Structure 1
């Protein structure tokens, strides 16, 4: 069984968005920069004046590793790609790639991607696939 994240009060808007099919990230109202992972203050300027926004759901492959030694719950899925995706909004998110054979030939950097969601327990997990 794959691990299931536990939403906290700080991350609840992210998980509620995922359940609604939306990728939500935070934006600082002071410096107007987007950021991810969820937290109460801007990591750039320190302001606590932040809001949740719906991201475009589009990004590009920034980096990846092909994992051949599965984590618990992923035994039947090796090999799989663990990736860092750069969103159009400029933030990076660690995730898994789905719907593509994880080989270096299939995963050129800057590959256009789009978010998809997988239900896992009571939460929906954002994953990324090749944008078509």
Structure 2
């Protein structure tokens, strides 16, 4: 197994939504932070595993993508507000773009992101799907 693959598997954030919760003001953020952007407290943040469930806050349908994503166009990129209050920018998968609406319930899924390098290392990460 290559060092790249081994290192990749040891990154918890790749397989979980790990955010931060401020012990002072109670706000939850994603990605993890070391300083609360709300009350500016350093060192009073704890890691929190986010549920991966939420609602579409806003979205856009990408019809003219970069070369890397031409094969999957059109596709939906959304800001999802998670149950805990944090917002995540993500791709919405397994749906027709015209079926997506603001306020739709969604849940996190793992999907292929890309294939890299001469070894063909496949990177996976989180995306979201409609929960209908």
Structure 1 segment 1-132 matched on structure 2, within 5 A: 15-19=11-15, 22-48=16-42, 49-103=44-98, 106-120=99-113, 121=121, 123-132=123-132
Query: How far, CA to CA, are the matches of 1:41 and 1:102 in structure 2?
Result: 36
Aligned CA distance change for structure 1 residues 122 and 46 (closer, same or farther; 3 Å) = farther
Paired residue secondary structure (2:67): coil
**CA root-mean-square deviation:** 1.9
Paired residues of 1:70 and 1:78 also in contact (CA < 8 A): yes
Q: TM-score, normalised by structure 2?
A: 0.78
Q: TM-score, normalised by structure 1?
A: 0.78
Q: How far off its partner does 1:122 sit?
A: 6.6
Q: Which has the bigger relative contact order, CA under 8 A and spacing at least 6? A: 1
- Of structures 1 and 2, the larger Rg is shown by 2
Q: How far off its partner does 1:109 sit?
A: 1.2
Q: Which moved more, 1:57-66 or 1:121-130?
A: 121-130
Aligned CA distance change for structure 1 residues 72 and 56 (closer, same or farther; 3 Å) = same
Aligned CA distance change for structure 1 residues 25 and 122 (closer, same or farther; 3 Å) = farther
Identify unmatched segments of 5+ residues in structure 1: 1-12
If each structure's helix is expressed as a fraction of its own residues, which one has the higher value? 2
Query: How far, CA to CA, are the matches of 1:119 and 1:79 in structure 2?
Result: 17
